[in-house]
Structure 1
């Protein structure tokens, strides 16, 4: 695969506009996260209040993900995204207005953030399932790599830009910029023309949820990976995001921990560039092997938290996460029929995210009870063991890449 092949999806008119839209709202979101945090702290000077606002976004998003999958499989996905983006612009714009005018109260921030979380639940399945309709199957890998490259790059750039806006013009105006980004993102989707989908006989939301569940549970590789990631995300959030900063503060320092997180982001970026050119065969086999290395920083943090070792291991972990992300998107997009894809993504997100709060709440007390070092080492070992357990499924190990000439994925996904 050449560099020209890697950039080929951008020559597809629909994907190019979709890519521009994704770039815009991702930049706005990464800036808004830090702007919202400082807006809450300016108002309350309370970390607990910030936690309430963040939870107000997460909880409705988790609760409504399955409904979002049904909506995205029932209605045109471009329309779902446009409406969602406009709704996000409205909620963030009103939030910005309250902060700028000094009339914001904590309950208002919680309510508006909850609205934004609900909208995110509707938009995520539609956004994730649009790519196969915008590029030929042969271009799915470079298309996903381009999106990943942009997302990972903005993860580094966005918070810095957001912090600069907060310092120079204030958190309220930074939120207003995010609202404008959401509106621009909706406008950029106007030229996108999706292929017409065959209209299904109307059925109830419950029936479509049940149909999605039946497909999810009958597709072994799908539920095996999602079940595994329910545990992996719990461990990752508990070990690295909860215990990690505490251990780093006593060993490599706060700035050192920033270097570690940056190294992971660089690993994600570097591997996304590689994925533009290197075809990924057996996407889930290599994906699960690669992401097992995400447990390495946990072990090093528990055994010998030196800065160089942690930076190197974080870079490797980031690269592994990117390989899995690519493999997972290819597995979903190539092996699941378009009429089911949004619901499959919604069940994937629900299963993967639902245990994350357990990690955030439980790992601190575990560290107190058994010692942070022991818990971190055990977490890293458990992380790799779960990856190996998922690979015990033959359907995961042997899932191949598919070409345009392969049979309908709806007939083969349950193998």
Structure 2
């Protein structure tokens, strides 16, 4: 009886956000659209390679989407702090649905025009850059403060589950009915998310009018005035930059060695499982010192780089890749920390700077990892990248504000929203 009561209590606490209709609508739409994203990601790759046989064509399409997303993120942050976030997300989903329909039509033709696909992918990437800052600020408006960590963890769980199932579904669709249908499936999921978002009732917080540039400056001040925030952004920037060696040099070492393509596939799957496990752990973790826990987890990102460098068995590397991806699943801790400590009127701009700084050097890292490995050697480059992750993740704990930041400030995002007329 006690075990049953304890299990019921755990379930009520873990899934409490889903009892709120607002979050339930948001989470259901997110789950559906994330599955579509995961399906279309593999389908687009297979479709372009199958149609043109050119890795360069695929690079053009993916690069166009990434560049557009990056260029629109700061703009999206300003818009999301000015306008109703819900409507911004709906408009972005409409654009993404239209873009996927265009790509599907091109793939159906049998002779896709890469320029057309690149433009459509840039449209989808730009819309994503606008969508993400708005989404970062909408979660606190759908749940009570005490359920914010679980809400972010459930959102992370939806994303990680999608990227575990999506490649299987996407590959099956490509093999059976063609890549175009997989892209249409993604467009349909955007339409579903748009419909569910339209049912949300979230009042908009009005604020004084200001210029676009002044909004950008104020957003940067919100970041730079908080030592714990900008210090962690430096860590994330280094973490993502060094992880490029894992994606570029890691496969070269594994595949060209005795493990082959199946060895790398096993490692990738281990990473996907780890990310899902991190999301599950995040459902019930409420650390007293969230940034201490977060950065200790970040340090695990060094493990697969080091394991590949020292020639560890594939299964050991797969487990270490799972531990590295555990960090991604535990991203709900960071999201919750931002939402608790940043006023609602600034959260989307702060998120956009967070995203920009964190991923800004990834293109450089992807381009430089191979040449660096050729100069100093593959294994030494992997060891150096792993060491950089360890130094950054553990070194930031020397900053007092990082160590001592508590999870529940006197004024949360939700309370600030109420004061502002929410």
Partner of 1:232: 239
Which region of structure 1 is more displaced relative to structure 2, 290-299 or 382-391?
A: 382-391
The answer to whether 1:74 aligns with 2:78 is no
Partner of 1:34: 42
Unmatched runs of 5 consecutive residues or more in structure 2: 1-8, 417-422
Partner of 1:385: 391
Partner of 1:105: 113
| Inter-partner Cα distance in structure 2 for 1:210 and 1:203 | 11
Per-residue CA deviations over 1:76-97 (Å, capped at 9, x if unaligned) read 1111111110111111112212
Deviation at 1:411, TM superposition (A): 12
Partner of 1:138: 146
| Inter-partner Cα distance in structure 1 for 2:238 and 2:164 | 27
Partner of 2:359: 353
The answer to whether 1:205 aligns with 2:200 is no
Alignment match of 1:183 (pick from 191, 202, 215): 191
Partner of 2:5: none
Deviation at 1:213, TM superposition (A): 1.2
Work out whether residues 43 and 106 of structure 1, in 8 Å CA contact, stay in contact via their aligned partners in 2: no
Deviation at 1:408, TM superposition (A): 5.5
Per-residue CA deviations over 1:74-122 (Å, capped at 9, x if unaligned) read 1111111111101111111122122213463111111111111111111
Alignment of 1:121-200 (within 5 A): 121-197=129-205, 199-200=206-207
Alignment match of 1:300 (pick from 304, 307, 328): 307
Partner of 2:419: none
Work out whether residues 335 and 410 of structure 1, in 8 Å CA contact, stay in contact via their aligned partners in 2: no
Work out whether residues 73 and 130 of structure 2, in 8 Å CA contact, stay in contact via their aligned partners in 1: yes
Per-residue CA deviations over 1:385-412 (Å, capped at 9, x if unaligned) read 0112222221111111116xx2356999
Work out whether residues 251 and 305 of structure 1, in 8 Å CA contact, stay in contact via their aligned partners in 2: no
The answer to whether 1:272 aligns with 2:242 is no
Q: Secondary structure at the match of 1:109?
A: helix
Deviation at 1:178, TM superposition (A): 0.9
Q: 1:23 to 1:408 in 2, by over 3 A?
A: closer
Per-residue CA deviations over 1:288-317 (Å, capped at 9, x if unaligned) read 011101111100100123113212212222
> So what's the TM-score if we normalise by structure 2?
0.93
Aligned length: 407
The answer to whether 1:43 aligns with 2:51 is yes
Work out whether residues 157 and 329 of structure 2, in 8 Å CA contact, stay in contact via their aligned partners in 1: no
Partner of 2:369: 363
Q: Secondary structure at the match of 1:21?
A: helix
Per-residue CA deviations over 1:250-273 (Å, capped at 9, x if unaligned) read 142211211112112212222322
Which region of structure 1 is more displaced relative to structure 2, 63-72 or 34-43?
A: 34-43
| Inter-partner Cα distance in structure 1 for 2:387 and 2:174 | 40
Q: 1:387 to 1:368 in 2, by over 3 A?
A: same
Work out whether residues 139 and 151 of structure 2, in 8 Å CA contact, stay in contact via their aligned partners in 1: yes
| Inter-partner Cα distance in structure 1 for 2:367 and 2:37 | 25
| Inter-partner Cα distance in structure 2 for 1:402 and 1:27 | 33
